[in-house]
Amino acid sequence: MAIDDYSTLDATALAALVRRREVTPLELVDAAIAGIERLNPEINAVITPMFDEARAAARGTLPAGPFQGVPFLLKDLGATYRGARMSFGSDLAGDYAPDYDSELVVRLKQAGLITLGKTNTPEFGIVGTTEPRRFGPTRNPWDTTRTAGGSSGGAAAAVVAGFVPMAHASDGGGSIRIPASYCGVFGLKPTRARNSSRPRADSLAGFSVEHAVTRSVRDSAALLDATAGPAVGDPYWAPPPARPFLAEVTTLPGRLRIAVSTTAQAGITLHPDCVRATQEAARLCAELGHEIVEAAPAIDDALLAEALDTVWAVGVAASVNGLARLVGKTPSADLVEPLTWALYEQGCRTTAPEYVRALGLCAALSDTVSQFFTQYDLWLSPTLANPPLPLGYAAALPGDPLAGYRRDWENCLYMSLCNMTGQPGMSVPLYWTAEGLPVGAHFMGRFGHEATLFRLAAQLEQARPWNRRRPPLHV
C-alpha cells in the first residue's frame, strides 16, 4: 500500500479496506513502519519499536474487531503490554517489562488493533511537554523547535505525522487534550472510569483516564465503544451510555446551550491566538444554530490550585515508590529528574489530613461544576493559554526545580478541572495561527455525557474539516 494513501485515511477507513480484502494487515503495518523509520529520527515520537511482533501479529489470525489489522501505538505510561518495555519516561524503570496485559490492552487487542511500539512521554507524565531526560524531546511536526505537548506528546505527534491514524493516550491533568491542541488532532478525555484501569492501582484519586488521540471524531467514538465498561474488581465506573458512541457521530446535537469563557485565572495572560480560537469556535457554534452565552462556573482558583497541588504531589510520590518496589530499587534523586524528586519529597511531606482536605475540595468543585451544567450543555474555553511553546519552556531553573512546573500548569489552566471533577472534555482542532500552528478549542461536558461532545464534534468536523491540513513533517 502506498504510504501517501495510508497516511490520509482514518482507522475506520483502513479497517474497511481490510474487511473488503483490498489491503492486508501486513501491508498496513509495513506502511506504518516505513513512515516511522523515515520521520521518527526527526520528531522522536516512538521510543520503543515493536516491529517484529507487529509483523507477526499481522501475518496471524486477528480478532474480528472494528479495527482489525489497523496499526496502533501505545503510550509508555498507563497501559501495560506483556513483554514490552515500560519505562514511564524514567531512568528508575530500567528495562522493566510487565508480564501481563492491562485490561485496556486486552480490549485494544480484541478490537483487532496491532501495536507497533510505545510513544514518548515526560517522566511519570508530570508536565504538559514531552521532554524526558531518558529519551529526549518529542518535536512538533508543525515546527520542530516547539513542543508536541504532553504527557501524550509522542502519541499526538505520531498521529499528525501520519505514523498511525490513532494512538493510545492518557489524561491526568490535560494529557490527551494538551498535545491534541498543540498537534492539531482530535483529543477526547472520557468521563472518569469510562475505561477500566485494571489491574493498575489509582495513584491520582481518579484524576487519570485513558483513551486516545485520533485523526477523526468517528475513530474516537468507535474506539471508546470497543474499550469502555467496567472490569471485575473496579471500585466504581461511569454511567453506561444510552447507545453506542459511534451512533452519536451521525446524530445531530440539536440546539445546545453553550457557555463560553476566555477569562483566565488571576495573574495569567491568555495569548491572543488562544482567545481568537475560542471566539471563532463560538461563532461557528452559533452559525450551526447553538445558543452561546458568556458564562463560567464560579471556581475559587486558590482552592483549585491547593487541591491540585496536593493530589498531584502525593500521586507522584506514590508512583515513584510503586515503581521502585516493582524494580527492586530505592528512590533517590539520581534516579529521577529534579522536578520529579521535588514533587516526590513534597508528596512524602504531605500529611493524611492535608490529603483528605484536598479530596474534599475536589468534591466541592464537582458540586459547583455539576450545578453549572444544570444550566448549560457544554462549556467552551481555550484549551491552553498559549499556542505551541518552544521546547524547554518548562525546564527547571537553578535552585528551583518547580519553576518550570509552575509555568506549565499556568499554561494548562483550563485542563485540570475536568480531571478533578471527572467531567469529559475534548480539544477540537479548528484554528491555526498566522504562523501555521494549531490551537485547539476546549469543550467540557456533563458527567457521563460524552454523547453530546461526540455529536457536536462531528458537526464541527463536517463544517471545518481539519484532516486536510498536513504539517511540514508528514509521511
Tell me which residues are annotated as active site: 75, 151, 175
DSSP letter assigned to residue 124:
G
3-state SS assignment for residue 200: coil
Coil, strand or helix: which one is 417? helix
The residues, any chain, with a CB within 8 Å of residue 451's CB and separated by 6 or more, are 241, 242, 243, 245, 248
Query: Hey, which residues does 294 pair with through a beta bridge?
Result: 260
- 351 by Cβ neighbours in 10 Å (0-12 / 13-18 / 19+) ranks as exposed
CA distances to 108, 227, 316, 362, 418 from 311, rounded to whole Å, are 30, 27, 9, 10, 14
What is the bridge-based pairing of β-strands 143-147 and 139-140? antiparallel
Which residue in the block uniquely carries the three cell numbers 490535560? 174
Backbone angles phi, psi at 74, to 5 degrees: -105, 140
Place of cell 511500539: 117
Residue-wise over 419-458: b if at least 16 C-beta within 10 A, else e? bbbbbbbbbbbbbbbeeebbbbbbbbbbbbbbbbbbbbbb
* CA 294/CA 280 separation, integer angstroms: 14
- DSSP H or E stretch at residue 115: strand 114-119
Q: If you ran DSSP here, which 8-state letter would residue 92 be given?
A: G
Give bridge partners of residue 379 from the DSSP assignment. 259, 444
What DSSP string describes 132-165?
-TTT-PPEETTEEEEE--SSSHHHHHHHHTTS-S
- Strand runs (DSSP E) across 128-278, as ranges? 139-140, 143-147, 166-171, 186-189, 209-214, 257-260
**Contact (Cβ atoms closer than 8 angstroms) between residue 98 and residue 122:** no
